[in-house]
Amino acid sequence: MSTPGPAARLSARLRAATRTMHARAERAGAMALLLRGALDGARYARLVRALHALYGTLEGALERHAAHPAIAPLDAAPLHRADALAHDLAALREAGLADARATLPPAALAYVARLAELDAREPVRLVAHAYVRYLGDLAGGQALAPIVERAFGLAHGAATRFYAFGTREAVAARTASLRAALDALPLSPAEADAVVDEALDAFARHVALFEEIAAEGAPSAQIATRDAPSGTRAPAVAPGAPARPRAQRPASPAVAPPAARSPGASSPAASRTRR
């Protein structure tokens, strides 16, 4: 397939340019372990904590530049995930899977610093991070929530608010709306090039984060054995137990969905959807 030219829709350019890096991110470190049901609860909680830091910085920046002509059309507020991640992280702590004293992984700190830099100097490039984050969440969340709940013995909805965007119809509508907004952004050719370049950098930063978390040690005995409050966990599932066999592999919750099989396709949770 040929790469779209400069005049192509932004969503198509992003899809083509990031295809290889997206596939690499899906198979990287903690994400690969999570999809196999092999990521322990403590490292999953570290991933959630890192994502919370990323979203807090990204969404604060998007709000500060809400009147910017390249930010306003995205209407990202209904997609914001920071509050949902804060809820999930608190639930994971209650379940004994997260250490409140843990520091952010260096890759997450570097990512937060990059977002803060863009907030101060190049807000147009924030569009790339909105693309990578929100389209990925919309595509993968519906399928990943039950995998997470089974793997860590979590009661339904107890710590997976991050993945909840409403009904399948609502997810499809939000996905289509975000794609249309990207294609309608009033960007100059240089600005569009910058967004594509930044999206590649965003995927590289996700790879670094996933690999860093996967390389971290297992949870301490204190964190691993702490009792969870009643009602937090679902019964009879051990933390880290493999999820039941899946007919298809869902998209990663932390990277944008793969390219769509056909132009305009926007399946909310299909594992092989191509952007």
- How would you write the chain as a 3-class SS string? CCCCCCCCCHHHHHHHHHHHHHHHHHCCHHHHHHHCCCCCHHHHHHHHHHHHHHHHHHHHHHHHCCCCCCCHHHCCHHHCCHHHHHHHHHHHHHCCCCCCCCCCCHHHHHHHHHHHHHHHHCHHHHHHHHHHHHHHHHHHHHHHHHHHHHHHCECCCCCCHHHCCCCHHHHHHHHHHHHHHHHHCCCCHHHHHHHHHHHHHHHHHHHHHHHHHHHCCCCCHHHHHCCCCCCCECCCCCCCCCCCCCCCCCCCCCCCCCCCCCCCCCCCCCCCCCC
Query: Both tokens of residue 18?
Result: 């990031």
- C-alpha closest to that of 170 among 180, 162, 178: 178
122: number of Cβ within 10 Å: 12
- Say which amino acid occupies 172: A
Q: Say what the pLDDT of residue 38 is.
A: 85
Q: Say what the pLDDT of residue 100 is.
A: 65
Instruction: Write the CB contacts of 211 (distance below 8 Å, at least 6 apart in sequence).
Output: 28, 29, 30
Q: Say what the pLDDT of residue 255 is.
A: 55
Q: Say what the pLDDT of residue 102 is.
A: 74
- Say which amino acid occupies 232: T
pLDDT (tens place) for every residue of the chain, 275 residues total: 444 444 579 999 999 999 888 888 878 888 888 888 888 888 899 999 999 999 999 999 999 999 999 999 999 999 999 999 999 999 998 888 877 667 899 999 999 999 999 999 999 999 999 999 998 888 877 778 888 888 888 888 889 899 988 888 888 999 999 999 999 999 999 999 999 999 999 999 999 999 999 987 644 333 333 333 333 333 333 333 333 333 344 444 555 444 433 333 333 333 333 34
Report the distance separating Cα 101 and Cα 171, nearest Å: 35
Signed CA dihedral, 225, 27, 109, 136: sign only: negative
Q: Say what the pLDDT of residue 33 is.
A: 86
The pTM assigned to this predicted structure is 0.76
In terms of Cβ atoms closer than 10 Å to its own Cβ (0-12, 13-18, 19+), residue 80 is middle
Report the distance separating Cα 42 and Cα 222, nearest Å: 11
